[in-house]
Amino acid sequence: MTEELIQLFDYTGTFAFTVSGALAAAEKKFDLFGGLFLGFVTAIGGGTFRDMMLGNTPVAWLHDLTFFYIIIIAVILTFLFRPTIIRFPKALFFFDTIGISVFTIIGIQKGMQAEIHIPVAIMMGITTAVVGGIIRDVLCNEIPLIFHKEIYATACLVGGITYTMLLLSQVPESITVLLAALIIFTIRTLSVRYNWTLPKFK
């Protein structure tokens, strides 16, 4: 994946996760600062955890002000248009799903660049995708989505495996990235619509 495409995906995921954090803050009736803080930690949580595990310090958002500006803009737009957005009950779900779809691929790519084994790189992708949402849900006093019975991290796993298999099969990387992200988004969406679940511990 070209550096420009990686960066575009990173910015897209940052925007989507910021909006999901700001929407969660709106549902809890937080003030503007609370929305900004929650959007910020949701957006950078997974990437920060990933970079620290890989030893990529200082982490990406500390030396790229674009992330900061994207987060500020996303929170302001969410605050200004929240009456319209909140009319759509699936808005939080939509932006969260975009975020995990994009950040899974980013995390795998970062892991492969660090030359770690592919199965571990896939787990790095899942970690990148879910940690920000976990922080958001914990701060909102909610059970994190990853622990719900509905499909969440499993969608990231399937998309991550698809991404690496296509990559190893010499499929053009631009197609691989878009297809894998689409698979994650589709599985997550269908699982909620049709109540697909994994077996639960008794």
**pLDDT digit string, tens, across residues 117-143:** 999 999 999 999 999 999 999 999 998
Structure confidence at residue 20 (pLDDT): 94
| Predicted confidence (pLDDT) at residue 35 exceeds the cutoff of 60 | yes
151 lies in some domain: no
164 lies in some domain: no
Is the CB of residue 128 less than 8 Å from the CB of residue 110? yes
Confidence tier at 2 by pLDDT (50, 70, 90)? low
| Predicted confidence (pLDDT) at residue 149 exceeds the cutoff of 80 | no
**Lowest mean pLDDT across 5-9, 91-95, 107-111:** 5-9
Angstrom distances, CA of residue 31 to CA of 40, 45, 77, 91: 14, 21, 14, 19
DSSP string, 105-142: HHHHHHHHHTT--HHHHHHHHHHHHHHHHHHHHHHTT-
Structure confidence at residue 1 (pLDDT): 52
17 lies in some domain: yes
112 lies in some domain: yes
Structural domains of the chain, count: 1
16 lies in some domain: yes
H or E segment to which residue 40 belongs: helix 32-54
Q: What percent of the chain is predicted at pLDDT more than 90?
A: 71
Structure confidence at residue 150 (pLDDT): 72
Residue 48 domain boundaries: 3-145
53 lies in some domain: yes
| Predicted confidence (pLDDT) at residue 37 exceeds the cutoff of 80 | yes
Q: What percent of the chain is predicted at pLDDT more than 70?
A: 98
**How many CB atoms within 10 Å of residue 173?**
15
40 lies in some domain: yes
**DSSP 3-state assignment of 149?**
coil
Arithmetic mean of pLDDT over the chain: 91
Structure confidence at residue 121 (pLDDT): 96
Rounded to whole angstroms, the Cα distance separating 29 from 42 reads 17
65 lies in some domain: yes
| Predicted confidence (pLDDT) at residue 101 exceeds the cutoff of 90 | yes
Region 8-16: what's the mean pLDDT?
92
Region 179-192: what's the mean pLDDT?
95
Is the CB of residue 145 less than 8 Å from the CB of residue 133? yes
Tens digits of per-residue pLDDT, 52-83?
999 988 998 998 899 999 999 999 999 998 88
pTM of the model: 0.91
Is the CB of residue 44 less than 8 Å from the CB of residue 25? no
Angstrom distances, CA of residue 55 to CA of 19, 81, 174: 28, 38, 27
Structure confidence at residue 90 (pLDDT): 84
| Predicted confidence (pLDDT) at residue 48 exceeds the cutoff of 60 | yes
